[in-house]
Chain A
Amino acid sequence: MRPNALVGFTAVFIGVAYGTMASGLRGHPSGNQPVSLFPIGLGFLMAVLGLFQLVLEARKGRLNLEGTPPVVLPASSLRPVLGTAGFCLFYVLALERLGFILSTAVFLGGLLFLVNGPRAWKTNAVLTLLFSLGAWALFTKVFHLYLP
């Protein structure tokens, strides 16, 4: 599927789903607060714009006109991007379970090893330790903020 067509399809899906949910919103008992009118309008407009996008792409395809270039994710960049995504998910899962210092050390250390490479392991380890402990000290001791 052409990238723009996928954007159009997603917009129609979101527009219809959101609009349907909006139309099910209960109004205020006083009746003078139209809680659903604005969202219904947004859902309707989204679906219409998505349809427009789909029609334009279909027309381009029929006329063999050049569309938007395909979405490319080079194989070399898959590792850092997906790895980073994985570490981000780990961090959110671990922050309150493992505590700030440990989870930040694993998150940051892992990312540095992934992005900066294992050869610079000394630099990575020192930076990880300094940041994890330094950030904890700064937030809890200086700003007096709670960190898990």
Chain B
Amino acid sequence: MVVLELLLQGFYTALDPLNLAWLLGGSLLGTVLGMLPGLGPSTGMALLLPAVLSLRPDTGLIAMAAIYYGAMFGGSRSSILLNIPGDRAAVASCLDGYPMALNGQAEAALAISAIASFIGGLIAAGTFVLVALPVARFSLRFGPPESFCLMVFALAATAAVSREVFLRGMISVLLGLMLATVGLDFQTGIPRFTFGSAALQLGIHFAVVIIGIYGISEILVNLEKVDQDLPKPAQVHIGRIRISLAQWKRSIGPIFRQSPIGILVGVFPGTGGLAAALTAYDNEKTRSRHPEEFGKGAIEGLAAPEAANNACSVGAMIPMMTLGVPGSGTATVMLGALLMMGLEPGPALFGQHPAVAWGVIASLFLGHIVCLVINLPLAGLLVKGLYMPQKVLYPFILALAFIGVYSINFSLADCWLLAGVGFAGYLMKKFRVPTAPFILASVLGASMESSFRQSLVLSDGSLGIFFRSAISNVLLIAAFLSLARPFLSDWRTRKKQGKSIDVPIE
């Protein structure tokens, strides 16, 4: 009953005219950003970060969440029509979405992707309602050592995405943590790594890092292929967006089966929408009686990943708001916004600012309805956005990035740092050093060091404090398993291949 009352209070907050306006704007912006190849929700949210400071916390977070799930809706538009995913999470939607469009079923593909995203998102929002309070209350048991171990786990899971980038992922984490130590020491006031610069004494704001990576380096990478033309769409004339009863019956099972998978993947740090969508696609293909139809326009092959990636986007917000550990790179930007507004995730957020926490949760339900309306009846109109000349868009994004960063502290030093981080991020991308761990580490760095030092003060300098409680031990084991995961999964793949590969006879 308490949860229902809080949810009702949340709906009251979300239905505030200002919040509703930002919800609409965020959903539309997210859908358009998701549609455009090369630009994702992270870029949109990063550019919105400075503006968030001038908004009420509930309004800012509702807008950011809307951009996030809006992009999940929009990402499949270009996957279906152009065979180019609008967002990483929409990669799996190319596999059967594009063949459907080639078969003259673009309308059905667009319809089922929107419906599956809607249901997947609603299931995840319902799950959020059920688990929010218990998880937030559980986190009350976290003292400084447990908080430190939780952050170690989140960073380990984000860094160890694959065996190929394992070391570079870890290096990226350390770079982010190093960046977070620049400035006046938060407990003693001693300047650290400032090179005598007064501007650096304030530290490097993580908003600068987020905008530098998502606003500048992302654009520099996209500029490399700015002269490449987009392919012609598989179907030019889009009719009424709808699906038949038979197609609905084939899709409903995959949607309900794969949404929980999406939530689970989303909750786990370092995975994200791509992993959720590919896992869902693979699951459905494995259990299908007609796996040969997958890749040739099977509607299940589109419904499953679409439901999963939306469920994942909402799932990624659950640990972000209840524990302060984001489940994805985009949720990291939201965490950054939360911290910039002076809010502390976890029990403090739900206890002291219930209107904000439950307003965001309630907005997930409303936002998914808005996105369904945008993506079903207005799909034909939206698809025209695919032809938007991106080369015109990039300069504006760069200008907005600089103006936004300047407006945080009205400091030119922040603009220099932005340019520096942007070009460093570009080099990182060129050298295949993952940037998501770098951003997460720069956001969590200050709290992580603070927890580390508080723990040492509590234990009189003994590192043994990190192994004393069951929660810390479980989290450290989870961190170790996360680091071992890419090696274990490689070993399993090789073992499987070893069994099935025939030795060629020359």
Contacts and interface: CB of A to CB of B under 8 A. Distances in A.
Given A81-B220, A104-B399, A127-B392, A92 B422 contact: no
B171 A50 contact: yes
Interface string A1-38: 00110111001001100100110011010001111011
B452 A38 contact: yes
B193 A21 contact: yes
B339 interface: no
Contacts of B426: 81
B275 interface: no
Given A46-B171, A80-B224, A81-B223, A33 B188 contact: yes
A30 B164 CA distance: 45
Contacts of A25: 190, 192
B227 interface: yes
Nearest to A21: B193
B223 A92 contact: no
A147 B403 CA distance: 9
Contacts of A131: 396, 399
A35 B192 contact: yes
Nearest to A7: B431
Contacts of B178: 14, 18, 39, 42-43, 46
A76 B188 contact: no
A58 interface: no
Nearest to B392: A116
Interface in B381-418: 389, 391-392, 394-396, 398-399, 402-403, 406-407, 410, 412, 415-416
B174 interface: yes
Contact of A77 (B177, B223, B389, B419): B223
A111 B424 CA distance: 20
A102 interface: no
Given A45-B174, A88-B419, 12 more contacts: A25-B192, A35-B185, A35-B192, A42-B181, A92-B419, A95-B406, A108-B395, A111-B394, A115-B391, A116-B389, A116-B395, A135-B403
Which are the 10 A-B pairs with shortest beta-carbon distances? Answer: A111-B395, A77-B224, A80-B223, A28-B188, A92-B415, A46-B174, A115-B391, A38-B449, A11-B171, A71-B430
8 contacts: A77-B226, A80-B223, A92-B402, A104-B403, A108-B396, A127-B396, A139-B407, A146-B410
